[in-house]
Structure 1
Amino acid sequence: MRVLLVEDDELLGDAVKTYVHRQGHAVDWALTRDEAEASLDAAAYDLVLLDLRLPDGSGLDILKGLRAKRDEVPVIIMTAHDQVSDRIAGLNAGADDYLVKPVDLGELQARIHAVSRRYGSHKLPELTVNGVAVYSSERRIVGVDGAEIQLSSREWAVLDRLIVRKRAIVSKAQIEEALYAFGTEVESNTVEVYVSRLRRKLGRDAIETVRGVGYRISSDAN
């Protein structure tokens, strides 16, 4: 998944970003309301981790803005506001979950998985292709022999983008956008390299090439 972390506490933000990245997700980190809104305008996210108290405004206004635009991206609030009234306000504004600081990272991971499973449009669906079972929300792939297949974070980023639009063609530019989230330069042949790696691990025909247009998951996938 591509995750937007909105957190002005640099110590906590660094810990959360590192932890979520290690789970195989790409993470963009915004420290202010302005940075968060600019990121949301520039890219498509699968999840937002949102602090409420920001130096230039309220995270609640970010959430209200998303829902006003009918953007249903899942949002998990992380805040030191622990009053019941604060939780009610956050949930009523459209939050999908609410964590009170200090945040336990193991609990955060469980909440991320729960939100991924719960909401259809942003859920990373289970996929079976060539007898290989892909459990995206769990970051787990089981091969035909029952052995687990390991993917790098960038390989997951490419596969996630294809799975979310399983029946549609995903352009090279859209896949590059997912890779840009890792903050490294994307060469002209980077997408081809990662698609080739995925084919070696999932099966040669797991990903179809639509010449001149892009890529898609095999039409035989379930």
Structure 2
Amino acid sequence: MNLVLLEDEPILCEELAEYLGENGHDVTVAKSIAEFRQAFIPAVHRIVIIDLGLPDGDGTDLIKQLRAARQRVGIIVLTARNTTHDKVSGLIDGADHYLSKLADLDELNATVAALGRRLVADTLPCWILQAAPRQLIPPGFPPIPLSGQDYVVLLALASGGDVSRQSIVSALGERFLDYDQRRMDTQMRRLRRKVEQACGLELPVTTLRNIGYRFHDPIELRN
């Protein structure tokens, strides 16, 4: 599971990051809200673990902002504020789980695992095609830079349903009758290889014999 750990106490931060990493999680560390904003990638990070007392603000405000932005992310509060009032307020503000810093590390890991299972069950894998910068973001992985031609082809495929070769050629600004179809075959092979080499996933594009192609996973377009 890709997650961000927002904790400003150096020793605790190192201990938690090492423990979570040993339990199979890909941990990105941030020690302030400013660092978190630079590190957090919504399409990559599925869970954030947030301390509330931070050097440049209150983690509660960050939680509210994440929820207001409708980010699809699981939020675990890990804090020294452990009264019942604090816990209830944290959950109302948008945290999925609220743990004390006195909690056992195994409890934290079990909470991350349980939340991760729920997030996977609640959401379909969604690819993101972004225009600026041009990149394809696979579900759960970092962005893959795209050439202009890569982007145009994927944009045509993202229109949904069966997409004809003629539609893709037109999107590329070419005349279909003059276009060498082998160029498109080569283009698709390059795209598939680029995605597989970058993240190990198979590009979810089905070849439709004598018709064209279909992008068969959910895909979101962003400017």
Identify the TM-score tier after normalising by the shorter chain: 0.5 to 0.7
How many residues are paired up?
Answer: 157
CA distance 1:22–1:124, shift in 2 (3 Å): farther
The residue that corresponds to 1:210 in the other structure is: 205
Alignment partners' CA distance in 2, 1:101 and 1:83? 12
Alignment partners' CA distance in 2, 1:12 and 1:19? 10
User: Does 2:48 correspond to 1:45?
Assistant: no
CA distance 1:103–1:12, shift in 2 (3 Å): farther
- Cα shift at 1:39: 2.4
Q: Which runs of 5+ in 2 are unaligned?
A: 130-134, 144-192, 207-212, 218-223
1:188-203 correspondence runs (5 A): 191-192=196-197, 195=200
SS at match of 1:24: coil
User: Does 2:130 correspond to 1:115?
Assistant: no
User: Does 2:18 correspond to 1:18?
Assistant: yes
Question: Amino acid of the residue matched to residue 91 of structure 1?
Answer: L
Question: Amino acid of the residue matched to residue 86 of structure 1?
Answer: D
SS at match of 1:85: helix
CA distance 1:170–1:73, shift in 2 (3 Å): closer
CA distance 1:96–1:42, shift in 2 (3 Å): closer
TM-score when scaled to structure 1? 0.58
The residue that corresponds to 1:150 in the other structure is: none
TM-score when scaled to structure 2? 0.58
SS at match of 1:49: strand
SS at match of 2:98: strand
Q: Does the 8 A contact of 1:169 with 1:210 survive in 2? A: no
Q: Does the 8 A contact of 2:51 with 2:59 survive in 1? A: yes
Alignment partners' CA distance in 1, 2:87 and 2:3? 22
Larger radius of gyration: 2
Q: Identity over aligned residues, as a percent?
A: 31
- Cα shift at 1:57: 0.7
CA distance 1:193–1:72, shift in 2 (3 Å): closer
The ranges of structure 1 where at least 4 consecutive aligned residues each deviate by more than 2 angstroms after the TM superposition are: 37-44, 168-180, 188-195, 207-211
